[in-house]
Amino acid sequence: MTPQEMAARIVRYGELMPCRTAFIDAHTPGSDQKENFTIIGGGVSESPDQHVHINESPGFNIGAAGQPPRVRNSLHTHRTAEVFFVLKGRWRFFWGRYGTAGEVVLDEGDIINIPTGMFRGFENIGTDYAMIMAVLGGDDAGGGVLWAPQVIEEASAHGLILGDNGALYDSKQGQQLPNGVKPMPLMPEEQIAQLIEPSVDEVVNEFVARYQDMMAFSAKAPCDVIGAEALIKDRPGFEVDFISRTSIDSALYSVPQHEILMVMRGHWRLNWEGGSTVLNPGDTCAIPPNLLHAIEPSMSGEASLYRVRNTADQAGPTRALL
């Protein structure tokens, strides 16, 4: 693989292209300043304006959300895994029919595997623009987003209508539903009644891993974060581990899976048969299967990254809840 070919598989943090009209709450006060990014795969955007950096899907999608202080992402759910780690800032994750069943605050480097089958949202509670990185299960990211009824109703009052084809139409721009397309029906109450509202203890103990703990666990080997026998036990169609400075050596290796490197802190030298480059905080790199490569810190100081690989497990509901 040439350096040019590898460069096409790296999405630099400073080159991320946001979409400000990705979802139905794009005009809703309190949510109208958020930015969404589709880094790898098709993502779940409802807008044709969403830019996709790398179209290839490794069996899951990589995305991100950037938000100014006190801006939130509205209550929704997915049919497959939704995993976030905090790249910048401080975030509050909340859940339940009206977002009041529980909440947890995550700081930089922390990760959460939000259980499927429940409404969830998140908010930047820091003092500056903040960013969370996301892994969404499945090639089609679970078939899109399922919104809480009040989100759709409030969005309609601000001019945005979601069609049953999954596309957004903005009446403020004179757009109307095309012939044959009806408004997306609200989730029926009997379906809502089947959604879960786990306790704070359940979510924090089973679905959250803290950065400083993972730094300690990764002192001698990569820390298994999400997987069948990991800190967060689940089989969402991908596995996640955490690597720090002393976790791995500089020897070349290859794996038969897709491997996504997502840098948290520090600068990492990526070597492969054909070239070398440096990955920086916020950068995302898609390593193809069977490519001999190696990663090691390129400078002194704290260094950490998340590594995501696809597995043979089928994307679907959170296994710990089955």
Structure confidence by residue, pLDDT tens digits, 90-123 = 999 999 999 999 999 999 999 999 999 999 999 9
- pTM for this entry: 0.93
DSSP 68-131: -TT-EEEEEE-SS-EEEEEEES-EEEEESTTS-SEEEEE-TT-EEEEPSSS-EEEEE-SSS-EE
pLDDT at residue 159, rounded to an integer: 84
Confidence of residue 267 (pLDDT cuts 50, 70, 90): very high
Q: Are 287 and 274 in contact (CB under 8 A)?
A: no
C-alpha to C-alpha distances, 133 to 110, 163, 268, nearest whole angstrom:
11, 27, 18
pLDDT at residue 224, rounded to an integer: 98
Q: Are 80 and 315 in contact (CB under 8 A)?
A: yes
**What CATH superfamily is the domain 15-208?**
Jelly Rolls (2.60.120.10)
- pLDDT mean over 215-236: 97
Termini Cα distance of the chain:
42
Boundaries of every domain in the chain: 15-208, 210-321
Structure confidence by residue, pLDDT tens digits, 184-198 = 889 999 999 999 999
Q: In sequence order, what are the residues at sequence separation of 6 or more whose Cβ sits closer than 8 angstroms to the Cβ of residue 35?
A: 18, 19, 20, 65, 66, 67
Q: Any idea of the CA torsion for 230, 235, 240, 246, to the nearest 10 degrees?
A: 30
Domain 15-208 and domain 210-321 have a common topology:
yes
Structure confidence by residue, pLDDT tens digits, 165-191 = 888 888 888 888 899 999 888 999 999
CATH class of residue range 210-321: mainly beta
